[in-house]
């Protein structure tokens, strides 16, 4: 596939690369967990090698069959899911999925989940020796009965599991994925940073509900499910903006760790909003289901915007950075 924004003769094109917690991403667009399988499922639909990174489906120590009943439900501007962390377990992922995923080219992020702090730590210890670039600690899944989001709702529990995973995987950069359902998101984020998080990502899905009026019962067996897609984007953007400000020490140019933003991003304009709000990179999830090429189109759109607006480097996009656009 050719680059639609080739540099002008004699002038280098914009540099889209970003470094997050020591990991180099060739651009700031990452496939969000649970929406891109293990990468190879999308082979032939888009040029996967062009992506900045791929985040795996949520992985647990042991295999999980996921939730029964209906798992997906569309809303006018969003998607509800109740997958329940179906995955083959970390040992099988490392043996059967990781070699092919690794060979695709983008940075590899393993999304780690668990029911107890012990299970999270055991999984992290296995990932510490695997050929992944980063762990994304998922303390924000709303679709499991034990663990998941329960660890991301308040600071003490978030600190406990972050500290355990940090200790069990000392060699891997650690990004903690936050829940938009936390009553005090900044407190949870601060606790994660204090316990060893190298980066933060947000948002996971919003707890939501749908009722089948014909059957007169909830659509999902768990009653609630997680809402993603365009419906959540303005709220997710506001959360990224507010967290950036809340974490920034007085007088410092930026927060102590990078923030990766997501929630409803479907085109370059959406992604740029998050980057301008301070996100170091973005993840794209639900949009890929409707348009498998959404991410490569977003990469092209960011490059075009940078060229048109005179940005040479992607990490200069944030509007509150010194030298930013306002």
141 is an active site residue: yes
Stretch that binds ligand FMN, among 39-47, 97-105, 285-293, 307-315 (CB under 6 A): 285-293
Stretch that binds ligand FMN, among 81-89, 164-172, 297-305, 315-323 (CB under 6 A): 81-89
E strands in 214-258? 217-218, 224-228
Does 179 interact with ligand FMN (rule: CB under 6 A)? no
Select which of 141, 192, 293, 314 is catalytic. Answer: 141
The number of residues in the chain equals 326
Does 262 interact with ligand FMN (rule: CB under 6 A)? yes
**Using CB under 6 A, which of 14, 123, 163, 285 touches ligand FMN?**
285
> Phi/psi at 307 (nearest 5 deg)?
-65, -45
Does 264 interact with ligand FMN (rule: CB under 6 A)? yes
Tell me the longest C-alpha to C-alpha distance in the chain: 66
**Smallest separation (angstroms) from ligand FMN to the CB of 204:** 5
> Which residues, 6 or more positions from 23, have their beta carbon under 8 angstroms from its beta carbon?
53, 107, 133, 134, 173
C-alpha span between 33 and 20 (Å, rounded): 17
Stretch that binds ligand FMN, among 14-22, 94-102, 155-163, 256-264 (CB under 6 A): 256-264
Does 88 interact with ligand FMN (rule: CB under 6 A)? no
C-alpha span between 285 and 270 (Å, rounded): 13
DSSP assignment of 103-162 equals HT-SEEEEEE--SSHHHHHHHHHHHHTSS-SEEEEE---TT-SSSGGGGGSSHHHHHHHH
Angle between helices 185-194 and 155-168 (to 10 degrees): 30
Does 57 interact with ligand FMN (rule: CB under 6 A)? yes
Q: Please work out the total of residues on this chain that contact ligand FMN, with binding judged by CB under 6 A.
A: 27
Residues designated as active site: 141
Residues of this chain that interact with ligand FMN (CB under 6 A) are 32-35, 57-58, 79, 81, 83, 85, 111, 138, 141, 177, 204-205, 228-229, 232, 262-265, 284-287
């Amino acid at each position: 596939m050719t680059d639609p924004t080739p540099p002008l003769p004699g002038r280098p094109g914009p540099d889209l690369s970003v470094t997050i917690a020591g990991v180099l991403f060739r651009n700031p667009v990452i496939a969000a967990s649970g929406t891109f399988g293990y990468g190879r499922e999308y082979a032939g639909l888009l040029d996967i090698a062009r992506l900045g990174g791929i985040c795996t489906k949520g992985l647990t120590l042991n295999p999980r069959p996921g939730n029964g009943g209906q798992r997906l439900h569309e809303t006018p501007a969003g998607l509800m899911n109740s997958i329940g962390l179906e995955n083959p377990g970390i040992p099988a992922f490392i043996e059967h999925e990781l070699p092919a995923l690794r060979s695709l080219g983008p940075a590899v992020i393993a999304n780690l989940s668990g029911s107890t702090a012990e299970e999270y730590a055991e999984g992290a210890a296995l990932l510490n020796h695997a050929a992944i670039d980063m762990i994304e600690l998922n303390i924000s899944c709303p679709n499991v009965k034990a663990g998941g989001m329960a660890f991301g709702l308040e600071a003490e529990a978030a600190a406990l599991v972050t500290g355990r995973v940090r200790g069990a995987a000392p060699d891997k950069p650690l990004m903690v994925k936050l829940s938009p359902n936390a009553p005090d998101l900044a407190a949870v984020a601060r606790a994660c940073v204090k316990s060893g998080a190298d980066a933060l990502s947000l948002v996971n899905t919003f707890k939501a509900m749908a009722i089948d009026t014909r059957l007169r019962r909830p659509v999902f067996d768990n009653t609630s499910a997680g809402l993603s897609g365009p419906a959540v984007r303005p709220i997710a953007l506001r959360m990224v903006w507010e967290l950036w400000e809340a974490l920034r020490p007085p007088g410092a140019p930026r927060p102590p760790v990078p923030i990766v933003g997501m929630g409803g991003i479907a085109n370059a304009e959406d992604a740029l909003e998050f980057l301008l709000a301070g996100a170091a990179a973005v993840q794209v999830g639900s949009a890929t289901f409707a348009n498998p090429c959404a991410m490569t189109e977003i990469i092209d759109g960011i490059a075009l915007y940078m060229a048109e607006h005179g940005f040479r480097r992607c990490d200069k996009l944030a509007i509150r950075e010194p030298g930013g656009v306002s």
